Amino acid sequence: MNLRIATWNMAYPFYKSYHKDAWDYLLNEIDADIILFQEARPTAYLNEDDKHLVWNEIGDNRSWGSGIYSQKYELKEETIKSDFKGVFSIANTTIGVIDLTLISIYGLIENNGPNKGFAITNLHRILSDLTGLFCGRINGKRNIILGGDLNASLQIDQKQKGESHKIFFERLEDFGLKDAFKKLNKPYPLQTLRHSKSKVKWQNDYFFLSEQISNRIVDCAVIENESIRRYSDHNPVVMTIEL
């Protein structure tokens, strides 16, 4: 069987008036078996379905967050020690005889202090928090599917000093996580963000999978159309794996 998994930054803070329509589109048109979402709030209907939804808001002045939803498969939330609740969420599910650990991550941008404007600082901290999970020290080795708007790109290193983004992606690789686009030899970059103040074709959204499950990737594509441009400044990425 084929499993369709989508990741989408739904840009709730900036597209609130379209958010319900965005969810309708995501559920009915994208029609993914599992959805990883960021910068979003589930609808009231989805919030009632606690067996199929794992979601946390970030808090403070952010009433939105990252989560995972599946209409078909039951999800069980997993929590680890971290200051980034809602920035990432973890869910476990079983499909047939295959256990999957799903991680939805948003590259949270610092909004004050000396690191204001940087997401990479938080991304490196998040990877450190997830080290035990990635290394099999929490319930053993896993089939991991990590996706989201990372606010990370090698394109950023080209515009600032240092290689902090390159190092971030190298850390993912060191944990044995494989870039779905690279596995399929897709060109780089594939635009997933249309920034209002930039003409750069930014790629910020990704899937990374543990090695064994990465060998099951059938397809991974960026979805682009007029509806998506109305609902968010990010494009959904939809991946298909064979189970």
pLDDT by residue for the chain (243 residues), tens only, comes to 999 999 999 999 999 999 999 999 999 999 899 999 999 999 999 999 999 999 999 998 999 999 999 999 999 999 999 999 999 999 999 999 999 999 999 999 988 888 787 899 999 999 999 999 999 999 999 999 999 999 999 988 777 778 999 999 999 999 999 999 999 999 999 999 998 777 889 999 999 999 999 999 999 999 999 999 999 999 999 999 999
User: Is 151 annotated as ligand-binding?
Assistant: yes
CA angle at residue 83 from 79 to 86, to 5 degrees?
Answer: 60
User: Is 21 annotated as ligand-binding?
Assistant: no
User: Is 219 annotated as ligand-binding?
Assistant: no
Q: From edge to edge, which strands make up the β-sheet containing 217-222?
A: 53-59, 62-69, 34-40, 2-9, 237-242, 217-222
User: Is 39 annotated as ligand-binding?
Assistant: yes
Q: What is the dihedral of CA 218, 142, 95, 123, to 10 degrees?
A: -70
Q: Which domains does the chain have, with CATH numbers?
A: 2-242 (3.60.10.10)
Radius of gyration for the alpha carbons in the chain, expressed in angstroms and rounded: 17
User: Is 9 annotated as ligand-binding?
Assistant: yes
Cα separation, 110 vs 125, in Å, equals 12
pTM score > 0.75 for this model? yes
> Are the CB atoms for 157 and 196 separated by under 8 Å?
no
Cα separation, 50 vs 54, in Å, equals 7
Q: Running DSSP on this structure, what letter comes out for residue 75? A: -
User: Is 234 annotated as ligand-binding?
Assistant: yes
